Chains A and B, each alone.
Chain A
């Protein structure tokens, strides 16, 4: 495996992705990501110099909304799936120390 994923990298990716891995999962993830990246490295065989990265397959552009209010108070429906609600708001653990 050419791409060796370090413990630090897995830890870092875990922080970025908000995922917490067990010891076992971490080892597996290192293996899997390393192997995937080896496979992805195949792309380096291709000369892509001068090729524009293609995000959208079709050249669609300028899709706009007019600045007109179309939505009313839909709070009850937006909150109906909330794990925790208080005073018409989503409730989360405190964000300030």
Chain B
């Protein structure tokens, strides 16, 4: 629309901001909004479009960025009190790519603190609500980004995925979220949770948009040693409505105990759609599925315990007001600055790396990871794409998951192994349950085979027909008074719930 000059960039950005103004009091997708800056940037981008220096499908399109991705001059908090005032002196490489393509960032989206969670309830800036039903969680940790796209506050957003954090909230919010192959999008400027697992990826209304956004985000970055130089970045060329002869495997171990029958039915229906279009679909035994979560929690927590050591009250962020001496400052700043879930994982990670436990826990987990990778390698000898559910259930009600962390972790069973093996995966809306909450189907590809899952997703979308977002959104939101969510929703101190930066 912008390219066709039907609307100006400023109009598009203003529309986004208006939508946020109308809905976000309830949904709370944003930690930081910067309308003024976005509008100024809109005019700048408009000039670029007008004089032909900026082209491309994303020039002038408003975008929201998950709050663990550094944006120079724009507060980046990881939804944590410990970074409540952190204004990065530099931008993440993905943000630089986005800026170069003419993207207009309107703000930073809410998330589980440091991306540790599956519900966006562990944020120090209050919970984000699911636009399909504000009494339910949007999923996590990229819950703010997914809810913002689902509610049309923004046409697309950036998220990050360490154990399912793009795909699972994508599924809960009825949007399309793609986690690329590890190394495809630079991690430079992504505030690390589990460095060997983290990947930035696009969240949008459909796979066509995701492919275009990924094309813009992906790059070989010399600043990220784990960045991979890929042969081609033309992901949109895979938007082809043809899956004839494509071999699709459904892990029968993904369909077993614990999977909600409504989710299973929707996923099977999606598989049938692809079969009808000529794909060869069959079930197979992936194996080792139940070992992915324990291996993940050891690896991710270990890395996190080290990655999050830098938040200590010395260089940036929160410093406790009172302390006696250096170590007391460290302990108070960290204990007051981090939330419960983050502390739990830091402690677990410190423990599994500590003297005497490294081999039994950490190396054991890395060996398990090797076996999981091998089982995927075997699967991809037979299949082009693996298809399965994203999560065992649809979005739970607010507050329902936090009481039992272990149960919450189990919700990541279908997404986590993909991160351990570094694979690309996408979540595509494929139906709703009886409560009207969306269900997603997950398509997993072999390393560097994004094009195969994009093609499968595109073919599926063509048959499925256009996906309708939540109806009567404003009315749903109106029922919930602003910031009147469950008791814990408010931030730990006033500084943490303020939305604007100065």
Write out the residue numbers on chain B whose beta carbons fall within 8 Å of the beta carbon of A48: 364, 367-368, 370-371
Give the residue name and chain of the A residue nearest to B72 (CB). A77
| B393, CB-defined interface residue at 8 Å | no
Give the residue of B225, B294, B323 whose beta carbon is less than 8 angstroms from that of A42.
B294
| A86, CB-defined interface residue at 8 Å | no
Interface size class of A (residues with CB under 8 A): 35 or more
A83 in contact with B294 given A54-B370, A58-B183 (CB within 8 Å): no
Stretch from B101-109, B113-121, B242-250, B344-352 that touches the partner: B344-352
In the complex, per-residue mask of A25-42: 1 if CB is within 8 Å of any chain B CB, else 0: 100010011011101111
Write out the residue numbers on chain A whose beta carbons fall within 8 Å of the beta carbon of B369: 53-54
Give the residue name and chain of the B residue nearest to A80 (CB). B89
A13 touches B354 (CB 8 A): yes
A46 to B389, CA, bound (A): 25
Interface centre among B288, B340, B347, B368 (most CB of A within 10 A): B347
CB distance from A40 to the nearest CB of B (A): 4
| B458, CB-defined interface residue at 8 Å | no
A16 touches B183 (CB 8 A): no
A55 touches B366 (CB 8 A): yes
Write out the residue numbers on chain B whose beta carbons fall within 8 Å of the beta carbon of A68: none
B354 touches A93 (CB 8 A): no
| A57, CB-defined interface residue at 8 Å | yes
Give the residue of B225, B291, B347 whose beta carbon is less than 8 angstroms from that of A19.
B347
A82 in contact with B315 given A58-B182, A58-B447 (CB within 8 Å): yes
B330 touches A46 (CB 8 A): no
Write out the residue numbers on chain A whose beta carbons fall within 8 Å of the beta carbon of B346: 17, 19
A57 in contact with B182 given A36-B297, A43-B295, A81-B85 (CB within 8 Å): yes
A43 in contact with B368 given A19-B334, A84-B319, A93-B326 (CB within 8 Å): yes
A20 touches B348 (CB 8 A): no
| A69, CB-defined interface residue at 8 Å | no
| A2, CB-defined interface residue at 8 Å | no
Write out the residue numbers on chain B whose beta carbons fall within 8 Å of the beta carbon of A20: 331-332, 334-335
In the complex, per-residue mask of A7-20: 1 if CB is within 8 Å of any chain B CB, else 0: 00110111011111
7 interchain residue pairs of minimum CB distance: A53-B366, A57-B422, A81-B316, A48-B367, A54-B370, A83-B319, A77-B89
Give B contacts to A, CB under 8 Å: 85-87, 89, 182-183, 196, 222, 225-226, 228, 288, 290-291, 293-295, 297-298, 305, 309, 312-319, 323, 325-332, 334-335, 338, 340, 343-344, 346-348, 350-352, 354, 361, 363-371, 373, 405-406, 420-422, 447
15 intermolecular pairs with C-beta atoms under 8 Å apart? A17-B346, A17-B350, A19-B335, A21-B335, A25-B340, A32-B405, A36-B405, A46-B288, A48-B368, A54-B367, A55-B196, A56-B226, A58-B228, A81-B86, A83-B318
Give A contacts to B, CB under 8 Å: 9-10, 12-14, 16-21, 25, 29, 32-33, 35-37, 39-46, 48, 51-58, 60, 63, 65, 74, 77-78, 80-84, 90, 92-95
